[in-house]
Amino acid sequence: MSDSLWMACYITKPLMTCPTCISHFLSSSVHVQQREMDIKLLAAAAFLVGVIVVYWFSRGSGPRIPGPPAHPLVGHTFQVPTIKTWKYYEDLWHKHGPIVKLTLAGDDILVLSDPADAQELASLGRRSRIYSSRRPLIYAGKYQSNHMRFTLLPYGEVFKRQLGAFHTMLEPRIVGTYEELQYQSSLRLLADLADTPDNFFRHVPRFPASLIFLLTFGKHLDEEGSDLVEVQKVLADFVYDINPGAHLVDTFPKLDLLPDFLSPWRAEARRKRDREMKLYGGLAMDVKARMEKDPELECFTARLFEQQKQLGISDEEIFYITGTAFASGTGTSAATLLWFVMAMTHFPGPMHKAQEEIDTVFNSYTLPDFSRVKDLPYVFALIQEVIRWAPVVPLSFPHYLDVDDEYKGYTIKKGTTVISSLWNMHHNEEEFPNSYDFQPERFMKKPGQELPSLLGEDNYGFGFGRRECPGQHLAVKSVWIAVVRMLWAYDIVPRKDANGVPMKCDEQDCTEGLTSRPNPFPATFVPRSAAHIETIQLADRRA
Ligand code: HEM
């Protein structure tokens, strides 16, 4: 047997099963160098066979879950783009159907595009429990968060305990008591827009930030927004650090066994944790100090300190819970409102229709409030459409399967990451025809049908099951009051260039990671009448 034939044989046949190869290998009298090369090739072939065997046995029984062809060694690792990943998943959905499997750096990923599947897996019975975990992350979970950050917690006792703490701030009954603060913060937004209408890109995100800061820590954001800037930095780090592939140790967990001097990443993660604890711990301890002077102090952090024993949470958990509430609620609500502004620059028809409806309920001397929600069904539908048209968390936040499962005949392995593509669900042409158009009408109720009590009820923008957004009641009410008041007072239009030509507000130009929001764009707010501005200024002086 020639050497080349032998090599071909051992690469293509299962190793050490071909007697001719073995005897050739043992008896060959070729040069030592050749022998070394043979050994390397043998090792390579053994590795390849190992990979194939592992792959074969890990396929599980039953039909193969659809998906694009995978590379035998790296799976789909280099096929999945890290930016605007939702657009790639949209292609996969059209090519392979609503359940797609990928393998990224050795981990199975399931991408769901049909809300019925997401509902079935995340929300119903036994499955809702096993599909409600988060992928364990060594860098961001163990070292950066000391296993305490709610969004990364596995499903279990600590998660349930912290969820209980979130409910003390976010359940609908409690959210109902925040209306006065929502009025104050949205009035400030209207006044800022009157002063510097072109600066909306700063004013709009400031509205949820100042509201949630006030609700969480019982004080106003400072004028320069230094707390906000620091939170944004901390959040940007965190969003980067949880990205698949951001840290090698999360792909190869055994690296965590190496000592500190060989693992500089560990010190870096701990430094980030210290920075966060300084920020959130400082804010929370400041509340504690103020509680001593003012036992009536009302805010989320104060309530957690009061109920600390009952809830069974440590000081450090309070720091993480309050920090998470502020960080998770601020960016998402701001992004929704910025997408609203973007939509209005593109679709003046729905904007004017909503304004006509508002005018039948509130005249120019009456600031809109929550008393007439049910009399504004079109505005209600318009907000639903914003959340559908541009979901701010397009792939939701990935869930993680705790034990092996069978679904629709497919074997889904423990440790699979399950992604609900809200983007695909919101662009399903059967449920939402012409899904790229902005048509609030699709959410209008038929005569006699009740408006849902919650604005997000008819779309999927807040996720599924036991991990669905606990802040949605607060979010939808805040978005509602800001949208109604902005539409009541202003036309939202593209700014004009030096030649008087409207500039392009490009909805494709947006952030492209875990969350999506427009990058700065040239819109402006034009008062609908002098009377509206007078009403705002008068109310602002009284506030
Ligand atoms: C319009 C605004 C908002 C949108 C679109 C939104 C959307 C989402 C989505 C899609 C998830 C992932 C759900 C899942 O894993 O299945 C989520 C999780 C979360 N949201 Fe929101 N959210 C918003 C506002 C808020 C607010 C105001 C708060 C709190 C003040 C908040 C707190 C959270 C928290 C703590 C989680 C993590 C839940 C967990 O890990 O179990 N969100 N949100």
**Ligand 1 within 6 A of 133 CB?**
no
pLDDT of residue 78: 83
What residues contact residue 175 under an 8 Å CB cut-off, 6+ apart? Answer: 473, 474, 477
Q: What is the pLDDT of residue 38?
A: 63
Cα-atom radius of gyration of the chain, to the nearest Å? 28
Mean pLDDT over 262-269 rounds to 96
Determine which of 40-49, 185-194, 231-240, 250-259 has the lowest per-residue pLDDT on average.
40-49
Q: Which of 359, 344, 379, 352 is nearest to 493 (CA)?
A: 344
Q: Is 469 annotated as a binding residue?
A: yes
- Residue nearest ligand 1's atom 11 by CA: 469
Q: Is the CB of 386 under 6 A from ligand 1?
A: no
CB 106 within 8 A of CB 251: yes
* Residue 328 in contact with ligand 1 by CB distance below 6 A: yes
Cβ 392 under 6 angstroms from ligand 1: yes
> What contacts 442, CB < 8 A, 6 or more positions away?
381, 385, 432, 433
Structure tokens at 272: 């980030």
Residue identified by tokens 């002077």 is 293
Q: In this model, does residue 237 exceed pLDDT 50?
A: yes
**Mind listing the pLDDT tens digit for each residue in 13-33?**
333 333 333 334 334 444 545
Report whether residue 516 contacts ligand 1, using a CB cutoff of 6 Å.
no
For 21-35, give one letter per residue: b (16+ CB within 10 A) or e. Answer: beebbeeeeeeeeee
This prediction's pTM: 0.87
Residue 263 Cβ contacting ligand 1 at under 6 Å: no
Task: For residue 252, give the 3-state DSSP assignment.
Answer: coil
User: pLDDT class for 125, splitting at 50, 70, 90?
Assistant: confident
Answer yes or no: are the C-beta atoms of 512 and 83 closer than 8 Å. yes
Which residue among 280, 418, 462 has the greatest number of ligand 1 atoms within 8 angstroms of its CB, and so is best to mutate?
A: 462
Mean pLDDT of all residues in 69-80:
86
- Residue 30: predicted pLDDT: 46
With a 6 Å cutoff on the Cβ, whether 469 touches ligand 1 is yes
Instruction: Give the residue with greater pLDDT, 252 vs 57.
Output: 252
Q: Tell me what the pLDDT averaged over the chain comes to.
A: 87
Q: What atom in ligand 1 is closest to the CA of residue 467? A: 41
Cα of 150 from ligand 1 centre, angstroms: 11
Binding site membership of 396 for ligand 1 (Cβ less than 6 Å): yes
Instruction: Measure 390 CA to ligand 1 centroid, in angstroms.
Output: 15
Between the CA of 393 and the centroid of ligand 1 the distance, in Å, is: 9
* Ligand 1 contact via 400 beta carbon (within 6 Å): no
Question: What's the pLDDT score for residue 222?
Answer: 80
* 425 within ligand 1 shell (Cβ under 6 A): no
CA of 80 to the centre of ligand 1 (A): 25
Is there a contact between 191 and 540 (Cβ–Cβ < 8 Å)? yes
Query: What does the pLDDT look like over 346-369, one tens digit per residue?
Result: 999 999 999 999 999 999 999 999
Per-residue confidence at 105, pLDDT binned at 50, 70, 90? Answer: confident
3 state SS of 432: coil
**How far does the centroid of ligand 1 lie from the alpha carbon of residue 250, in Å?**
24
Categorize the per-residue pLDDT at 3 as very low, low, confident or very high, splitting at 50, 70 and 90: very low
Strands 107-112 and 417-420, by their bridges, are parallel
Confidence band of 470 (pLDDT split at 50, 70, 90): very high
Residue 322, ligand 1, Cβ within 6 A? no
Q: What is the Cβ-side half-sphere exposure of residue 523, based on CA atoms within 13 angstroms?
A: 29
Pocket test for ligand 1, best of 328, 458, 460 (most atoms within 8 A of CB): 328
**Which residue has a Cα nearest atom 18 of ligand 1?**
469
Of 43 and 314, the one with more pLDDT: 314
Asked whether the predicted pLDDT for residue 223 surpasses 80, the reply is: no
- What is the best residue among 111, 210, 332 to mutate for testing ligand 1's pocket, by most ligand atoms within 8 Å of CB? 332
How much is the pLDDT for 358? 98
Residue 428 has pLDDT above 80, yes or no: yes
pLDDT band with cut points at 50, 70 and 90 for residue 8: very low
Compute the average pLDDT of residues 415-428: 96
The CB of 397 under 6 Å from ligand 1? The reply is yes
From atom 20 of ligand 1, which residue's Cα is the shortest distance away? Answer: 469
